[in-house]
C-alpha cells in the first residue's frame, strides 16, 4: 500500500501510528501464502485472495462460496480478527473495514445463521459483501442519517477523535420529530420518543 513502504516492519508501523495518535491505521497487504497450522492441515484449503492488516485487525479476503442452486450475485467474504485475538463487535470498525478494503459503495451483511449452520470456534467475524458497487440489498434503510444529538431519549456514543463524519448532525428533540413527520413513511420504529412517562 502506498505510503507504507517506509516501514520496515509491522511493529515500526504500529509505533508510528501510536506516536501520531492514529487509532485506526490504513490497511496494507500481507503475504497470502503464509498458512496457519489449521490451513496446512486441510487438504482442500482455499487460500484467501489477499490478507490485509492494520494496527488493530487482520482481514482475509475470499471469494464467497455460494450455492450454485441459488441465483445470488457474486460476493466477497471477509474473515476478520483482532490482532490481540480478543472478542469485539464494534459496528463502526466493521463499517470502516468494509469501506477501506472493499469500498464505501458496496453493501455487506453479517449472517446470524440457523443453529444447524452455526460455526463458533474462534474470536473471528465474517462479512459477506456484494461485489457489484451501488447495488443495494432489497432490505435496510434507504437514506443516510448520522446523528449524535441523543434527541427524544435516543442514546448514541460519542465519536472518537477524527472519526466523526462531516455530515453528522446533532438534532434537538424538535428537529428529530420534524424529520420524522417529513419522512414518516420511511421512518423506522426503533427511533421513537422514549421520554414519555407512563
**Confidence at residue 142, expressed as pLDDT on a 0 to 100 scale:** 87
Mean pLDDT of 147-164: 90
Is the predicted pLDDT of residue 164 greater than 90, yes or no?
yes
Task: Taking residues 129-138, report their average pLDDT.
Answer: 93
Q: Comparing C-alpha atoms, which of 68, 67, 71, 63 is closest to residue 47?
A: 63
Spatial separation of the C-alpha atoms in residues 89 and 96, rounded to whole Å: 13
Spatial contact of 94 and 85, defined as CB atoms under 8 Å apart: no
pTM of the model: 0.83
The answer on pLDDT for 39 being more than 50 is: yes
Exposure letters 11-24 (e unless 16+ CB within 10 A, then b): eebbeebeeeeeeb
* Secondary structure of residue 186 in the 3-state scheme: helix
CB neighbours of residue 64 within 10 Å: 17
At 4, the pLDDT band (50, 70, 90 cuts) reads very low
Amino acid at each position: 500500500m502506498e505510503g507504507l513502504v517506509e516501514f520496515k516492519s509491522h511493529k515500526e508501523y504500529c509505533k508510528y501510528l501510536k506516536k501520531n495518535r492514529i487509532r485506526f491505521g490504513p490497511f496494507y497487504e500481507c503475504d497470502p501464502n503464509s498458512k496457519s497450522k489449521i490451513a496446512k492441515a486441510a487438504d482442500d484449503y482455499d487460500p484467501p485472495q489477499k490478507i490485509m492488516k492494520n494496527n488493530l485487525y487482520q482481514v482475509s479476503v475470499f471469494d464467497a462460496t455460494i450455492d450454485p442452486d441459488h441465483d445470488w450475485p457474486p460476493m466477497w467474504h471477509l474473515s476478520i480478527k483482532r490482532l490481540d485475538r480478543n472478542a469485539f463487535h464494534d459496528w463502526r470498525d466493521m463499517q470502516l473495514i468494509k469501506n477501506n478494503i472493499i469500498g464505501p459503495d458496496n453493501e455487506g451483511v453479517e449472517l446470524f445463521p440457523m443453529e444447524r449452520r452455526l460455526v463458533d470456534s474462534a474470536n473471528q467475524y465474517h462479512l459477506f459483501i456484494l461485489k457489484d458497487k451501488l447495488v443495494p440489498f432489497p432490505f435496510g434503510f434507504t437514506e443516510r442519517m448520522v446523528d449524535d444529538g441523543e434527541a427524544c431519549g435516543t442514546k448514541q456514543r460519542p465519536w472518537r477523535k477524527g472519526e466523526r463524519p462531516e455530515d453528522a448532525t446533532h438534532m434537538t428533540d424538535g428537529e428529530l420529530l420534524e424529520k420524522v413527520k417529513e419522512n414518516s413513511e420511511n421512518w423506522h420504529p426503533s427511533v421513537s420518543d422514549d421520554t414519555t412517562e407512563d
